[in-house]
Structure 1
Amino acid sequence: MTRAWRRRFARVHFTGLLLWAVVACAGAGWLVHARLQQLREAFETDARIVHRLLSQRVVQHDAVMATLALLQPPEPGATPDAARATEEATAASPLPRLPSVYPQILSVLQRPAGGAWPTALQPALAAAEAASRQSGHAEMALPDLPAGRYHLVLASTPASYALQIDLRMTIPRDEWPMAMDSSPVRVTLAQGGTAFVVQPGRTEPGRWGLGWSYGFHKLLAAPSQPLDVVAQRHVGLRELPWLGMLGWCVLTAALWAAGRALWRQRIARQRAEELLRLGQVARLNTLGELAAGMAHELNQPLTALLSSTQAAQRLLADDPPDLETAQTAMARAVEQARRASTVVGRLRRLVERPDLSAQAQPLHLATALQDVLHLLEPELAQRAIAAEVTVAPDLAPVLAEPVALQQIIHNLLMNAMQAMEQVPPAERRLTLRLSARDGTRIALSVRDHGPGVPPEAREHLFEPFFTTRSGGLGLGLTLCESLAQAMGASLELAPAAPGNAAAQRGAEFVLVLPAAPGTPAAAPPSPQP
């Protein structure tokens, strides 16, 4: 594999990996987003349920206070009937029974008309009573949120009332939407910088401080108890859908591997099809060379046969015996000889290749070489041959017929690879060089590092049926030379390099093609060593 093809393969491989990484990251990001969205929606739903439940409980406290206000002792100067009704209601007063009915009410305090609150609680309860008279609803007093307790004071006439509330007992555990011991959501009731922890949840943001946080806060639906319901949720990295993301990455990796295998299979199929096409063209051209040689070889004996039979016909014409019969036989021989000559001539005209110069077109020689190297990539790898390509800068396009040019390069490379089968794998090197000659021609040099061509065989190398390889037909180089000449190019064996034996090893064939007139000199990217 040439360095250019290795770079191209690495570029395609890197592009595929980058595409897989983008798709995998996009899918994993979508899974993370969906998971976070699901957790956020669940958190907000639970937070709203918590707010509703707690609001219902504190509104219940206001209802109890309103009920106590209705159960007032008789005022001074009330009518006997009113006083009697009030006394009956007082006899049935629920004050002693409230803590047993409402577990969150720890105690009930009453300040009768002209009386006072307990001494220890007097200042705070008196202030809350004054505020209650002004606002018209109950007011909080003595809040101790860390301990989960506060007083609720309602000013009324003639008596005022105060309830001591235990927030722990206010929590409706049977209706709570979350598992209070294990839920990661932290719920508190906050006021004035202090808070009562309803549900501990998880307060740490996660390992290394990474994660996402959700928040919710809303005042309870009771003006008398302005407590803020605060819910917090920290989502750590361990809560992300790692299995789903891993599955997605594995799935996309499998699809990428399958696509890469299909791509390699497609490249291999294209290479095989191209090699098959070149092989078919080569066989047809070889058949043409063979038929042309056979026609040339048969034409001479047929011509001699024609001359001999004509002479025999004249000689036999002087003999008296069976003259007429001899003349008839010789006439038939002449007729058959002429027919055979005509058939052979017709066959030669059929197999003669057309003039390829009319089909020549501007081509980049480096691109054609790169395509053939790609086709022969498995052969080079199988034989452990390192191809070194050198391309001169700013080479002009050449004028050639595409298929014929590919076939010439293919045959030259195959000959070089077959020649290097006789040397150790570590010494197998294939040197390819593209250069310009006098501005009007472009040369392609193919040099192997094999045993080379014997001196006695150099003059006969391009003759038909001459070969130095066991089992060879001796038509490959002849065909290459014929194709090159048909395109107006030339193919030659470079002289042996002078010097030591190492410098003289191998053979170098040089294909010289005419540069395309009127074309830019710059060539497309080509393989570099």
Structure 2
Amino acid sequence: MIFAVKPLTNIRTLTLWLVLFCPVATWIGWQEHAERYERFFQSTSIAQRMLSQKVVQHEAVLATLAALEHPPSPEQLLLSLQPAMPQLQGLGYLRDGTWVGSSASPPGMLAAVEQARQVGRPVTLALDQSRYWLVSPSNWSLLLDARLLIAAADFPPTLGTLTLDVGAEPLTLLARQSAVGSMGWDMSLQKTLGALSQPFPVHSWYRLTPSDWPWTEWLAWALASYLLAASSAAWRHSRAEARRRQEEMRLAAMTRLNTLGEMAAGIAHELNQPLTAILAQVRAAERLLDDEEERPAVRQALLASAGQARRAADIISRMRELVQPSAPSPRVAVDPDALAASLLFLRERELTRRGIRLSWRNASPGASPLGDRVALEQILHNLVQNAADALADVPPPRSIALSGGCDGAGYQFSVSDNGPGIPGEALPRLFEPFYTTRAQGMGLGLALCETLAGAMDGRLTADNLDPVGACFTLHLPLAGADV
């Protein structure tokens, strides 16, 4: 199992942005499509009504012609009607079975007249995809060209393509969009002309191309959702920083307390012997004092000195008892991955700023060491800090490797770096209190780590790596093993 120092913050922010953006963007697109379809439906209905009004006029003209007792010649009627009805291309009627018209009678005229009489209304006789005869039961017929019903410019501007089924093939009345070669989403609608004699189907469709998509609304929501995602990421980051600072403060307080304990123990050890010697010398002087005249005063002074010496020893003893725990902390099975994750979390910002990569490798997943989690945190924290200090003057790349795994019947943590290593003369004395190779060091960190390791029945060792670097290994009992 590998942990990286820097979390995938950017990926989490991008994922949150996509979660916010996609549903709303889909809704915006759907709303835009619904509005455009509504406009498309209204425009198609308008076109259908315009065409219906035109073809209904044809029925009115036929009714008027049927009411004439002495109609003019078809040629005269055509000249008088064409200015108002440019779609009218010819007209005529049957007189005693003989065709009289402005143009020749088409094939099937007699059958069409008979059909009109049977249904009691005009019927159509198609010539091609645009021209047709409108034949009435009164024998009058009109030759009409559907291409001239309405000019293309008069149709609503939101229509794309409009066709009318007059003959066997559709007649294109409007072609503002190309039928091929464009990417998009088609909207289509079919209506029938509102004339019983000319119920021609009208087909309308419009292709929504990328230029019709709601780019402005999408861009506005993309920016707003990104700001929301970035704000959420910043809030999570601030919370993580606050938690990191709390953990660092807790660890620092624990470090200061443990360091104070080590320091008090060292001071007590160093001062107990001189204080004991002072006490012995004072008592000897008391016994050897022979001057009768000075004896009471000297004895009083010596007694006071002895009392002060005992008092100093008592103070140091009480200090040592205060800072040292009276009983060792209970040892439990510690999750090494959780321990490493906490350490990586605490050190992420500092190590990244210093150009150091910290990694964790669990060589024995499922295995756990037996110890005190707080003490283990303190030891690994100090070892990583020492490794980071050792890399201060090392050119990049700089790396610290933290690993854990079983070692026989025990468990061990290793902290290694690619720094200059430990000087040979310093290696045997690393764990001595107050011994340090750094100008500003106190020489208590590694001594404290060794003391904490010993309290958990563990041990701490140090070695140099080949060709460069140093490695500190913490050996601990294995949870579940016989110890």
TM-score range, shorter chain: 0.7 to 0.9
* 1:120 matched residue in structure 2: 104
What RMSD in Å do the two structures reach over aligned CA positions?
3.9
Which whole-Å deviations, capped at 9, do the CAs of 1:150-187 have from their partners, x for residues lacking one? 3333233xxx433344545543889x5513xxx55222
Q: Secondary structure at the match of 2:105?
A: helix
In the alignment, residue 419 of structure 1 is paired with which amino acid?
A: A
In the alignment, residue 154 of structure 1 is paired with which amino acid?
A: S
* 2:54 matched residue in structure 1: 57
- Equivalent of 1:468, from 437, 441, 451? 437
| Inter-CA distance 400–18: structure 2 relative to 1 (3 Å threshold) | same
* 1:415 matched residue in structure 2: 386
Query: Cα offset for 1:303?
Result: 3.6
Q: What TM-score does the superposition give when structure 2 sets the normalisation length?
A: 0.82
- Equivalent of 1:155, from 118, 132, 137? 137
| Inter-CA distance 269–56: structure 2 relative to 1 (3 Å threshold) | same
Which whole-Å deviations, capped at 9, do the CAs of 1:481-506 have from their partners, x for residues lacking one? 11112222222334x68xxxx55x55
| Inter-CA distance 51–475: structure 2 relative to 1 (3 Å threshold) | same
Q: Secondary structure at the match of 2:198?
A: coil
- Confirm or deny: 8 A CA contact 2:3 2:361 kept in the other structure: no
1:512 and 2:481 equivalent?
A: no
- Confirm or deny: 8 A CA contact 2:4 2:360 kept in the other structure: no
Which whole-Å deviations, capped at 9, do the CAs of 1:340-383 have from their partners, x for residues lacking one? 3332222221111343342x221133542453244334454455
- Confirm or deny: 8 A CA contact 2:129 2:171 kept in the other structure: yes
| Inter-CA distance 354–486: structure 2 relative to 1 (3 Å threshold) | farther
| Inter-CA distance 492–206: structure 2 relative to 1 (3 Å threshold) | same
* 2:45 matched residue in structure 1: 48
| Inter-CA distance 507–239: structure 2 relative to 1 (3 Å threshold) | closer
How many residue pairs get matched?
A: 477
- Equivalent of 2:156, from 178, 186, 190? 178
- Equivalent of 1:479, from 425, 445, 448? 448
In the alignment, residue 135 of structure 1 is paired with which amino acid?
A: V
- Confirm or deny: 8 A CA contact 2:135 2:142 kept in the other structure: yes
1:405 and 2:376 equivalent?
A: yes
1:349 and 2:321 equivalent?
A: yes
Query: Cα offset for 1:220?
Result: 1.8
Q: Distance in 1 between matches of 2:6 and 2:392?
A: 28
In the alignment, residue 197 of structure 1 is paired with which amino acid?
A: T
* 2:74 matched residue in structure 1: none
Q: Secondary structure at the match of 1:413?
A: helix
Query: Cα offset for 1:51?
Result: 1.8
Which whole-Å deviations, capped at 9, do the CAs of 1:282-308 have from their partners, x for residues lacking one? 122112222232233333444444444
- Equivalent of 1:133, from 111, 114, 117? 117
Which whole-Å deviations, capped at 9, do the CAs of 1:104-152 have from their partners, x for residues lacking one? 5566545456764348217544333222221111223454543xx4333
Point out where structure 1 has 5 or more consecutive residues left out of the alignment.
Answer: 74-86, 88-93, 520-529
1:5 and 2:30 equivalent?
A: no
In the alignment, residue 132 of structure 1 is paired with which amino acid?
A: A
Q: Distance in 1 between matches of 2:175 and 2:216?
A: 29
In the alignment, residue 241 of structure 1 is paired with which amino acid?
A: P
Larger helix proportion of the pair: 1
Q: Secondary structure at the match of 1:513?
A: strand
Which whole-Å deviations, capped at 9, do the CAs of 1:64-94 have from their partners, x for residues lacking one? 3334434446xxxxxxxxxxxxx9xxxxxx9
Point out where structure 2 has 5 or more consecutive residues left out of the alignment.
Answer: 72-76
Query: Cα offset for 1:332?
Result: 4.2
- Confirm or deny: 8 A CA contact 1:31 1:244 kept in the other structure: yes
- Confirm or deny: 8 A CA contact 2:6 2:348 kept in the other structure: no
Q: What TM-score does the superposition give when structure 1 sets the normalisation length?
A: 0.75
Query: Cα offset for 1:217?
Result: 2.4
Report which of the two structures shows the higher radius of gyration computed on alpha carbons. Answer: 1
* 2:165 matched residue in structure 1: 190
Q: Distance in 2 between matches of 1:355 and 1:466?
A: 28
- Confirm or deny: 8 A CA contact 1:124 1:142 kept in the other structure: no
